[in-house]
Structure 1
Amino acid sequence: MEGLFIKPNLELVDVGKLVFELYGLKLIEMKPLESYDDTNVFIRVDPNIHQNKFLTKIDTNGYTLKILNSQNTINQPIELQHRIMKKINESGINTTVPILNIKGENSSIQSLPASRGGKDYFLVRLFNFIPGIPYKAINVTPALAYEVGCLAGKIDQSLKNIQNENEMAYNVWSMTAIPDLLSSLHYIKSEEDRRLLSTVIQMFSSKVMSKYTTWPQ
């Protein structure tokens, strides 16, 4: 994965300088956030100092600086993602949205120190931070699971007719990518686990993916 998804070397990236040069904001606090193949950093900025005419006020909850890995920097439908966020937000669901940089852009590509050494190009964005408790940190109850289902339904309804298939890139998190996991089962050390996963994936392919094209997209 490292050869494909190159992250920036956050220890060498001057986050304060990056935030100021791109967004005109003065960093006063930063904390790395959990992430998989991208780099996410929670930041707070000085509410009295900013040089961004596209920002009317400083969010006291802070911001999330998101730096995409090098592969997704060149391979993701970024503007489509932003339209989706905006559409969900407009439907009344509290959703993070991109903050415009000092050039009035949702994102920019920057040359930054890479985790493999040297430099690489990474797409940089800033989002308003929405405080809350991660789902994994609480006990899941039937009532809470029901609320999550209702929320998923509202999101689905809000995104009707927004997808543009010409912009949709292959995504390893997509349900359609599940059958591809068969080629990676050799990484699982337990033979019993490999057999179980193989059975589940094959059943998924035959019983679910065979009907995929008949579902609303």
Structure 2
Amino acid sequence: MSRGDDLQSQALTKPAFSETQASALVESVFGLKVSKIQPLPSYDDQNFHVCVSRTKDTTDGPTEYVLKISNTESSKTPELIEVQSHIIMFLRDAGFPTASVCRTKGDNLTSLVSIDSGSEIASYLVRLLTYLPGRPIAEIPISPQLLYEIGRLAGKLDKTLEKFHHPKLSCLRRENFIWNLKNVPLLEKYLYALGQSRNREIVTQVIQLFKGEVLTKLGDFRECVNHGDLNDHNILVEAIKSAPEGATYHVSGILDFGDMSYGYYVFEVAITIMYMMIESKSPLHVGGHVLAGFESVIPLTPVERGALFLLVCGRFCQSLVIAAHSCQLHPENKEYLMITAKTGWKHLQQMFDMGQEAVEEIWFQTARSYDSGIAM
């Protein structure tokens, strides 16, 4: 979703390239002949699915790409996008199903293009990635085994990124980044978007608990680089048709590294649990399967486990409050912005009403069942 540090300014700078302009970018910057182009949903950047014609020079290359045009605010931090691009390539080399990053005609990973809008000249960073196959897991019935595999994938991703080095890696220390899980208290200035409601009361309570019971323990958590947005639309799967019990699925793509930042192992698993709950018919049981998968790679410490409930609640609050705020700024993008809200408020209220102890009992008992080889 690639959203930045200041919501107000970013929300007003989403690119608005036409399909004709986007096609011209692909041809002028990357030297590829576009045969078909169509927009893809996005938060505050602009994405296009691009098909290109083969030429005598590209007889064996890919024919499908994603053109990513960063908003003007993100385009002011090219070092951040450069690091993200290198991480995508690093993970692909390590065997993860990430895209390939295409180089420009000038052999760069990005290009800064300037457009005269009449009133001002705006600059946008442009990238081209290979198009990944598969369907978002939001579109399929998700099984406990797939939840386990997604948890394991999240753990392996964080573990692998321990080996990643780049001279500009420190730019991932995004202190006021609204989507870093430690910044849940920053939501206070956007609470107005909820009006006076039970939802607002719950978010206010979560923020207060978060300040007292999570922020005070950050020094006890193990730090790492987080993907930060392993949601049900950023993980692609493909069916394995030969499976004996009908179609089962494997992960075929990991998308959108725009929310990467320094965080903690427990942040990654909490974020993944929250997003996997969105489409589930039994959301409270999701956490145990994801946790078991993650802990098969990185076992959490007792302090990290103890913070998991509030971290999941905190991520629900981030997603729901920021969506409500963004809808007021961009009502035309409401359908995309409110994807999480369709079930998210209900899940958050249910978790909060049950309380930490009851929810943890479900999660931890489910996770323990994998130790005995009998997954619940």
Normalising by structure 1, what TM-score? 0.87
Q: Are positions 1:205 and 2:211 aligned together?
A: yes
Match of 1:106 in 2: 109
Which one of the candidate residues 22, 28, 35 is aligned to 1:21? Answer: 28
8 Å CA contact retained: 2:16, 2:46: no
8 Å CA contact retained: 1:85, 1:95: yes
Match of 2:171 in 1: 167
Q: Which amino acid aligns with 2:53?
A: D
C-alpha separation in 1, matches of 2:152 and 2:116: 42
- In the TM superposition, residue 57 of structure 1 has moved relative to its aligned partner by 4.0
Match of 2:267 in 1: none
C-alpha separation in 1, matches of 2:135 and 2:47: 17
C-alpha separation in 1, matches of 2:183 and 2:116: 31
C-alpha separation in 1, matches of 2:87 and 2:61: 24
Match of 1:63 in 2: 65
Match of 2:294 in 1: none
- In the TM superposition, residue 190 of structure 1 has moved relative to its aligned partner by 4.2
Which one of the candidate residues 8, 13, 32 is aligned to 2:15? Answer: 8
- In the TM superposition, residue 194 of structure 1 has moved relative to its aligned partner by 0.4
Q: How many residues align?
A: 211
Match of 1:80 in 2: 83
Q: Which amino acid aligns with 1:142?
A: P
C-alpha separation in 2, matches of 1:9 and 1:49: 33
- CA-atom RMSD, angstroms? 2.4
C-alpha separation in 2, matches of 1:142 and 1:93: 21
Q: Percent identity?
A: 28
Q: Are positions 1:94 and 2:97 aligned together?
A: yes
- In the TM superposition, residue 103 of structure 1 has moved relative to its aligned partner by 0.3
Q: Give CA-to-partner distance per residue, 1:72-108, whole Å, 9 cap, x none.
A: 1113512211221122112111101310010000001
Normalising by structure 2, what TM-score? 0.52
Q: Go from structure 1 to structure 2 and tell me whether the alpha carbon gap of 1:98 and 1:165 turns closer, same or farther (over 3 Å shift).
A: closer
Match of 1:32 in 2: 39
1:89 match: secondary structure: helix
Deviates most, 157-166 or 41-50: 157-166
Match of 1:177 in 2: 183
8 Å CA contact retained: 1:26, 1:46: yes
Which one of the candidate residues 43, 50, 54 is aligned to 1:43? Answer: 50
Q: Go from structure 1 to structure 2 and tell me whether the alpha carbon gap of 1:205 and 1:131 turns closer, same or farther (over 3 Å shift).
A: farther
1:185 match: secondary structure: helix
1:202 match: secondary structure: helix
C-alpha separation in 2, matches of 1:7 and 1:46: 29
C-alpha separation in 1, matches of 2:184 and 2:116: 33
Question: When you count helix as a share of all residues, which structure comes out higher?
Answer: 2
8 Å CA contact retained: 1:99, 1:126: yes
Deviates most, 170-179 or 29-38: 170-179
C-alpha separation in 2, matches of 1:108 and 1:127: 13
- In the TM superposition, residue 184 of structure 1 has moved relative to its aligned partner by 0.7
Unaligned stretches of 5+ residues in structure 2:
1-6, 224-376
2:48 match: secondary structure: strand
8 Å CA contact retained: 1:87, 1:158: no
8 Å CA contact retained: 2:15, 2:71: yes
Q: Go from structure 1 to structure 2 and tell me whether the alpha carbon gap of 1:121 and 1:84 turns closer, same or farther (over 3 Å shift).
A: same
Unaligned stretches of 5+ residues in structure 1:
none
8 Å CA contact retained: 1:99, 1:106: yes
C-alpha separation in 2, matches of 1:12 and 1:24: 17
C-alpha separation in 2, matches of 1:140 and 1:117: 49
Q: Go from structure 1 to structure 2 and tell me whether the alpha carbon gap of 1:49 and 1:209 turns closer, same or farther (over 3 Å shift).
A: farther
- In the TM superposition, residue 2 of structure 1 has moved relative to its aligned partner by 6.1
Deviates most, 190-199 or 157-166: 157-166
8 Å CA contact retained: 1:30, 1:42: yes
Q: Are positions 1:193 and 2:199 aligned together?
A: yes
C-alpha separation in 2, matches of 1:83 and 1:155: 14
- In the TM superposition, residue 13 of structure 1 has moved relative to its aligned partner by 5.8
Q: Give CA-to-partner distance per residue, 1:166-209, whole Å, 9 cap, x none.
A: 32252322112222012111111242110011112222332223
C-alpha separation in 2, matches of 1:133 and 1:206: 40
Q: Which amino acid aligns with 1:174?
A: N
